[in-house]
């Protein structure tokens, strides 16, 4: 049975930097439709203290989700015969959304649009999308592993792309969290004792399905009937803090590794304080007292939360030695974890080839 290794990566980081000062003149409202009286400067400072976000990236007006997904794919496939791909899997949640027209466009799929842009003629390069919340890219990696281990595929391109800036309610303080971006990884079959060691997925829908959802603007006078991304941030924090460490430990047990074997922990970039709390809870749960310096890289301070794109973008930066001095070497154990709408959680344990 073949193993699955990541051989190439690519990402697209939009060039438009949006600092926190961009939101100073916004009119913010609560979920009850009442305008917030606290000065915007104080609101912005508090959000920065909690999330760690100082700036985020927005796609240009002439770019859409399928465009930036293609850019990341093109970078990952540089020098590779794209006709040899067995699958193109794109994790995304809202399709192409044009500026000023907040309508999800997912026909054809973003994956098919990427295949079209790549000019792949091979009809057996199967292209499809995964709407799985923020853990979508990681779920695509898990599916790629299944395809490879079953013998159905030898090369799978997994992309995560999202433009959240266009579905963020301008009157909701959570709009400051969301960002745009895309990342891609080429997964190939190998006989090496490396690659994806184990993975785990869970969905908690009975009590938590709607912690992340789409809803109307908080501004009762906002014209139009657009649906924007909404979240119950405090409840998500509590849910993630309880369940993500449990899922990571269970996956490590499944892989036959202890937490002390892990060189890096790559967590979906949703909230700096939440990710730090998850890491601390994980170490406590595993009975390990010392958290090594530099075990958890972070990009949220300058990239914001780009949903499915945070992990593959971080991975690409890591592979290209462009992630704040973080390095990985052959044999290193890397843990990936993500939590998001559904509520879904994915974990993957990976051994560097």
Rounded mean pLDDT of 186-208? 96
Which residue spans of the chain are classified as CATH 3.40.47.10? 3-192, 196-351
Q: In whole angstroms, what is the distance from residue 167 CA to residue 289 CA?
A: 41
Q: Which CATH superfamily is domain 196-351 in?
A: Thiolase/Chalcone synthase (3.40.47.10)
The pLDDT value given to residue 110: 98
Q: How far is CA 7 from CA 155, 194, 207, in A?
A: 10, 11, 39
20-24, 99-103, 165-169, 215-219: which range is least confident on average? 99-103
Contacts of 174 (CB under 8 A, 6+ apart): 168, 229, 230, 231, 233
Residue 104 has pLDDT above 90, yes or no: no
Residue 325 has pLDDT above 90, yes or no: no
What are the tokens at 137?
Answer: 């890219």
Report angle CA 54, 59, 61 to the nearest 5 degrees: 130
pTM reported for the whole predicted model: 0.94
Span 1-17, pLDDT tens digits? 899 999 999 999 999 99
pLDDT digits (tens, 9 = 90+) for 114-126: 999 999 999 999 9
Q: Read off the pLDDT of residues 221-240 as tens digits, 9 standing for 90 and up.
A: 998 888 999 999 999 999 99
- The pLDDT of residue 102 is above 90: no
Lowest mean pLDDT among 21-30, 66-75, 113-122: 21-30
Specify whether the CB–CB gap between 131 and 196 falls below 8 A. no
Q: Which of 310, 352, 349 has its CA nearest to residue 91?
A: 310
Cα separation, 140 vs 16, whole angstroms:
28
| Rounded distance between C-alpha atoms, residue 344 and residue 353, angstroms | 28
Is the domain 3-192 a CATH 3.40.50.880 member? Answer: no
Token output for 216 = 């109307």
**Percent residues over pLDDT 90 in the chain:** 95
């Amino acid at each position: 049975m073949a193993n699955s290794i990541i051989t190439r990566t690519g990402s697209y980081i939009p060039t438009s930097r949006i600092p926190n000062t961009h939101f100073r003149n916004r009119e913010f409202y609560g979920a009850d439709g009442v305008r917030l009286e606290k000065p915007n400067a104080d609101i912005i400072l508090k959000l920065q203290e909690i999330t760690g976000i100082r700036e985020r990236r927005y796609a240009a007006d002439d770019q859409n989700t399928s465009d930036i997904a293609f850019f990341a794919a093109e970078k990952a496939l540089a020098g590779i015969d794209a006709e040899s791909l067995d699958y193109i899997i794109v994790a995304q949640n809202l399709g192409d959304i044009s500026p000023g027209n907040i309508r999800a466009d997912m026909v054809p799929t973003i994956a098919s649009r990427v295949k079209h842009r790549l000019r792949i003629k091979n009809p057996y390069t199967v292209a499809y999308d995964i709407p799985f919340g923020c853990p979508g890219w990681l779920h695509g990696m898990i599916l790629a592993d299944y395809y490879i281990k079953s013998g159905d595929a030898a090369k799978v391109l997994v992309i995560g792309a999202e433009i959240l800036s266009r579905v963020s309610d301008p009157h909701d303080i959570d709009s400051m969290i969301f960002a745009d971006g895309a990342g891609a990884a080429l997964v190939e079959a190998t006989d090496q004792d490396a690659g994806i060691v184990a993975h785990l997925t869970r969905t908690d829908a009975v009590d938590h399905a709607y912690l992340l959802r789409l809803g109307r603007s908080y501004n009762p006078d906002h014209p139009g009937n657009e649906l924007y991304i909404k979240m119950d941030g405090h409840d998500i924090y509590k849910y993630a803090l309880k369940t993500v460490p449990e899922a990571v430990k269970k996956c490590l047990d499944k892989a036959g590794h202890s937490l002390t074997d892990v060189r890096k922990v790559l967590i979906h970039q949703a909230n700096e304080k939440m990710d730090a709390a998850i890491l601390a809870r994980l170490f406590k749960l595993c009975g390990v007292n010392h958290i090594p310096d530099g075990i958890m890289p972070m990009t949220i301070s300058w990239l914001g939360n780009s949903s499915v794109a945070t992990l593959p973008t971080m991975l690409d930066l890591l592979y290209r030695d462009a992630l704040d001095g973080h390095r990985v070497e052959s044999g290193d154990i890397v843990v990936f974890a993500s939590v998001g709408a559904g509520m879904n959680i994915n974990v993957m344990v990976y051994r560097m080839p």
